[in-house]
């Protein structure tokens, strides 16, 4: 018996292994390439910190001081990292997250520091959400019954957007999953003359257990969960609806979050929309790899690059990852 795929003696005529034989040929035919410019580094800055404060559930990640934040930003930029996403941890939190809209609040101060350190050499981004600033830990302001008040929260986001843009953020990342947040922020920015400030919308953000270590990172006091505003992990079509709404409301880029358990969502969105798609490899994804590697169960460096490659392969044009600086160094 012979067919098109069998050669003499029934051995294969077509041998896919020929293109896997040497590093050179594998490199030639690689379908996915990682580049430092694809990576966005999330950074935490803690008001009043005199020394960087380690985050125990994220080994290797710290809450920066203003000074070490500048150094970390400089290092990332010198390695060609595509963007920096800043998160601020204030020394005092309250019910409406006042520190988030204070022009001298820690996030705004840090944005000014980073802008003066690296200028336009990378894209400076800021998390636009109230949870780091509220004493109840929710992403918005609460009604008397304890539920999150969508429209009152939008007004707070509009104020935050303006102070962040004025502090030097090039791109804002609304991450609170309130309905209408992108349009509301876009209109507020435009009305204040910030028509050039762009929006990276956390469009498809799931209510995920993978954010666990982040709660330590931002000293969150959240009781309960975010199921009434973040998406149900069971849903996929809903992500498309969220993404299309955000694009209609003026989002310049959209994001899927977390990344690895949601690569099907990344692929669908990348196939269906024509704006850049980012994916956020979140704290729990980082922590799992670090913990397994620390136990000697997996090869850390290999797995880090494999995770990043798989997120790119799924269709993400940018990846937020706590390994951005390290991965950029490896890529050089
Ligand atoms: C909200 C926000 C969160 C993360 C990024 N922005 C927390 C949440 O939605 O509960 C999580 C990031 C991570 O886990 O690495 N400001």
- Please state the atom number of ligand 1 nearest to the C-alpha of residue 281: 15
* Per-residue pLDDT at 126: 98
Q: Residue 4 has what pLDDT?
A: 67
Q: State yes or no: 157 annotated in a binding site.
A: no
Q: What is the mean pLDDT of the chain?
A: 96
Distance in angstroms (rounded) separating the CA atoms of residues 264 and 311? 10
Q: What percent of the chain has pLDDT over 90?
A: 95
Residue 214 Cβ inside 6 Å of ligand 1? The answer reads yes
pLDDT digits (tens, 9 = 90+) for 274-318: 999 999 999 999 999 999 999 999 999 999 999 999 999 999 999
pLDDT of residue 3: 62
- Residue 265 counted as domain residue: yes
What CA–CA distances, in Å, run from 233 to 21, 168, 188, 191, 289? 40, 34, 31, 36, 21
pLDDT of residue 7: 78
CA 314 – CA 312 distance, rounded (Å): 5
> What 8-state DSSP symbol labels residue 271?
H
Q: Which residue from 202, 179, 252 is spatially nearest to 42, judged by alpha carbons? A: 202
Helix (H, G, I), strand (E, B) or coil at 240: helix
| Total of domains in the chain | 1
From the alpha carbon of 230, which atom of ligand 1 is closest? 9
Supply the residues annotated as catalytic: 205, 257
**Domain-located, residue 292:** yes
Residue 64 φ then ψ, to 5°: -80, 155
What CATH number is associated with residue 176?
3.20.20.70
- pLDDT of 14 above 50: yes
| pLDDT tens profile 23-38 | 999 999 999 999 999 9
Say if 205 falls within a structural domain.
Answer: yes
Query: Is 13 inside any structural domain?
Result: no
User: Is 278 among the domain residues?
Assistant: yes
- Asked if residue 128 lies in contact with residue 101, where contact means CB atoms within 8 angstroms, the answer is no
Tokens of 160: 């935050």
Residue 129 in contact with ligand 1 by CB distance below 6 A: yes
Q: Which residue has the CA at smallest separation from atom 7 of ligand 1?
A: 211
Please enumerate in sequence order all residues whose Cβ is within 8 A of that of 130, keeping only pairs 6 or more positions apart, or say none: 96, 97, 100, 138, 139, 140, 141, 153, 156, 157, 160, 176
Backbone CA torsion sign across 122, 212, 243, 191: negative
pLDDT tens, position by position, 59-100:
999 999 999 999 999 999 999 999 999 999 999 999 999 999
**Range of the structural domain that residue 80 is part of:** 38-331
Percentage with pLDDT > 70 across the chain: 99
Q: How many Cα atoms sit within 13 Å of 176 on the Cβ side?
A: 35
- Say if 263 falls within a structural domain: yes
In a domain, 23, yes or no: no
User: How far separated are the first and last CA of the chain, in Å rounded?
Assistant: 51
> Which ipTM score applies to this complex?
0.97
Residue 1 has pLDDT above 60, yes or no: no
Is residue 298 situated within a structural domain?
Answer: yes
């Amino acid at each position: 018996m012979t067919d098109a795929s069998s050669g003499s003696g029934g051995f294969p005529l077509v041998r896919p292994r020929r293109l896997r034989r040497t590093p050179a040929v594998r490199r030639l035919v690689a379908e996915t390439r990682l580049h430092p410019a694809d990576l966005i580094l999330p950074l935490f800055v803690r008001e009043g910190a005199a020394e960087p404060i380690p985050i125990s559930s994220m080994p290797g990640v710290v809450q920066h001081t203003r000074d070490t934040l500048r150094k970390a930003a400089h290092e990332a930029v010198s390695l060609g990292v595509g963007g920096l996403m800043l998160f601020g941890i204030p020394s005092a939190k309250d019910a409406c997250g006042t520190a988030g809209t204070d022009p001298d609040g820690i996030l705004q101060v840090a944005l000014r520091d980073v802008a003066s350190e690296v200028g336009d050499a990378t894209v400076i981004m800021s998390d636009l959400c109230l949870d780091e600033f509220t004493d109840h830990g929710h992403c918005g302001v609460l009604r008397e019954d304890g539920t999150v008040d969508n429209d009152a929260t939008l007004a707070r986001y509009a104020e935050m957007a303006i102070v962040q843009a004025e502090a030097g953020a090039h791109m804002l990342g609304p991450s609170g999953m309130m309905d209408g947040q992108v349009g509301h922020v876009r209109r507020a920015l435009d009305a204040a003359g910030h028509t050039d400030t762009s929006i990276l919308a956390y469009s498809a953000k799931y209510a995920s257990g993978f954010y666990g270590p982040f709660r330590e990172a931002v000293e969150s006091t959240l009781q309960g969960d975010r199921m009434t505003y973040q998406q149900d992990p069971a849903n996929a079509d809903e992500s498309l609806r969220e993404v299309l709404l955000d694009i209609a409301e003026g989002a310049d880029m959209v994001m899927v979050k977390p990344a690895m358990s949601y690569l099907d969502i990344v692929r669908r969105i990348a196939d269906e929309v024509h704006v850049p798609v980012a994916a956020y490899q979140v704290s729990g994804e980082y922590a799992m790899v670090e913990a397994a590697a620390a136990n000697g169960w997996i090869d850390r460096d290999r797995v880090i690059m494999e995770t990043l490659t798989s997120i790119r392969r799924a269709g993400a044009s940018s990846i937020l990852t706590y390994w951005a600086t390290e991965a950029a160094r490896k890529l050089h």
